[in-house]
């Protein structure tokens, strides 16, 4: 499957539980292959299947979680 990678900057994470929460929640989404969230860099690195989801959909998802998410281009 055609997969792609997106880096999303995530403002508003203060501790490990936020990191785990995002990794679990995003990880459950259809088409998401891997999620790595770094508290220090305030970034999420997500690999996903292009057919099933998109960078903007993943950004909106994190935004809906209550964090300030923006695509790192």
Partner 1 sequence: RHEFSMEMTCEGCSNAATRVLTKAGGTDIVTDLASKKVLVTSDKSSDELLEILKKTGKAITYVGPVN
Site for partner 1, rule CB under 8 A: 12-15, 17-18, 21-22, 24-25, 61, 64-68
DSSP structural state of residue 41: T
Kindly tell me which of 47 and 65 has the beta carbon lying closer to partner 1.
65
In the complex, the smallest distance separating the C-beta of residue 20 from partner 1, rounded to whole angstroms, is 10
Kindly tell me which of 23 and 49 has the beta carbon lying closer to partner 1.
23
Q: How far apart are CA 44 and CA 2, in angstroms?
A: 20
Q: How far apart are CA 9 and CA 24, in angstroms?
A: 17
In the complex, the smallest distance separating the C-beta of residue 25 from partner 1, rounded to whole angstroms, is 3
Q: How far apart are CA 8 and CA 69, in angstroms?
A: 6
């Amino acid at each position: 499957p055609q997969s792609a990678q997106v880096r999303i900057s995530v403002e508003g994470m203060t501790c490990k539980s936020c990191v785990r929460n995002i990794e679990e929640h995003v990880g459950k989404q259809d088409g998401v292959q891997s999620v790595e969230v770094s508290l220090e860099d305030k970034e999420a690195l997500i690999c996903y299947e292009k057919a099933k989801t998109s960078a903007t959909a993943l950004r909106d998802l994190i935004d809906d979680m209550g964090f300030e998410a923006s695509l790192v281009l």
